[in-house]
Amino acid sequence: MLAGIAAELRGALGILAKRDVQIPARHLSGKAGAGGAGGAVDRPAALGDDCAAIPDGDGYLLLAAEGIWPAFLEGDPRFAGYSAVMVNISDIFAMGGRPIAVVDVVWGTSAGALEPVWEGMVAASRAYGVPIVGGHTSARSPYNALAVAIAGRARRLITSFAARPGDVLVAAIDLRGAMHAEHPFWNASTGADPARLRGDLEILPALAEAGLCDAGKDISMGGVAGTLLMLLETSGAGAVLDLEAVPRPRAVRDLCEPSLARWLLAFPSYGFLLSVRPEAASEVLAAFARRGIASAAVGVVDGSRRLTLQAGGERQTLWDLAAEPLTGFAGEGAR
């Protein structure tokens, strides 16, 4: 049973697509680019995190960008527009920051094609209280395309580089939602009260600023499994993930169901995977519980550089990062 789940996860597009990140990893290794007459300059920020974190005064300037999957944009343009803003906001909070503003790049085959995209982006901007302040729009393209970028600030960081052997892995997912009809997106956002959405996200910078957590990521297109792989790769670590402990909807009960693998690959509108020192785990879990967010200790970080799945008394290696890199940012900028 567990071997079948592992095989399905290994072959999933949401995880395999992360290998595309090896292209920029190869080009950016060592230097960040041209620096005028002086040539290449040192990177101002570590690479491979949810956001670029650039030291700035007594904190960090955060920069991030997300492109939208073309099939998603074509099939549900309004929700695609909403999600483009939402996922950028999640990236900022995942790093312990707070968003400042977003900009967009939107290409469409006509003005009509752009309308639902813009409706979705504006709806998310209002729900989360993050303004859209500029960008680029064209209704004269042979195709539809969307990308959104965001700026934010953090006082203290939650990064992908700080997971340590012995840490407790905490997964926090808002289960007050539903799965998208066609795509592996768990939507707990569009029907929620905006004030609750904003308050739920404030948990992350509060944990960072209280010194309760300095390592983690938001759960992205690779789901819990793919996100954990990326966290382990950049931290140079391994982990055991207890599938039975991962928060999941009532519909995903039987570990033998194919729906479990789909859930482990789902992209939740609110989902975070944190690597927490054992002495802080109970406080971190309590912070999510106070907001009605489902959270649980789902595993332990170790030094193996392998992600091992555990369920029903079985164990199965999902990925050996020492033998097969995923994004190529292993150990980049370890703090």
pLDDT of residue 219: 97
Question: Per residue in 43-60, is it b (16+ CB within 10 Å) or e — as a string?
Answer: bebbbbbbbbbeeeeebb
Output the pLDDT for position 80. 97
**pTM listed for this prediction:** 0.92
* Helices 77-94 and 194-201, packing angle to 10 deg: 30
Question: Residue 95 and residue 64: Cα distance in Å, rounded?
Answer: 11
Question: Dihedral of CA 131/155/172/3: which sign?
Answer: positive
pLDDT number for residue 33: 35
> How are strands ordered across the β-sheet holding 132-138?
52-56, 59-67, 145-154, 97-107, 132-138
* Residues contacting residue 182 through CB under 8 Å, at least 6 positions apart: 75, 76
Q: What is the rounded average pLDDT of the residues 52-75? A: 95
Q: pLDDT over 90 for what percent of the chain?
A: 75
Does the pLDDT at position 34 exceed 50? no
Please report which confidence band the pLDDT of residue 17 belongs to, taking 50, 70 and 90 as the band edges. Answer: confident
Q: Which two tokens stand for residue 127?
A: 């729900």
Q: Helix, strand or coil for residue 28?
A: helix
Q: Which residue has the higher pLDDT, 29 or 53?
A: 53
Label residue 293 left, alpha or beta by phi (over 0 means left) and psi (-120 to 50 means alpha).
Answer: beta
Please give the average per-residue pLDDT across 110-122, as a whole number: 98
pLDDT tens by residue, 261-270? 889 999 999 9
Each residue of 225-274: pLDDT tens digit? 999 999 999 999 999 999 999 999 987 765 555 678 889 999 999 999 99
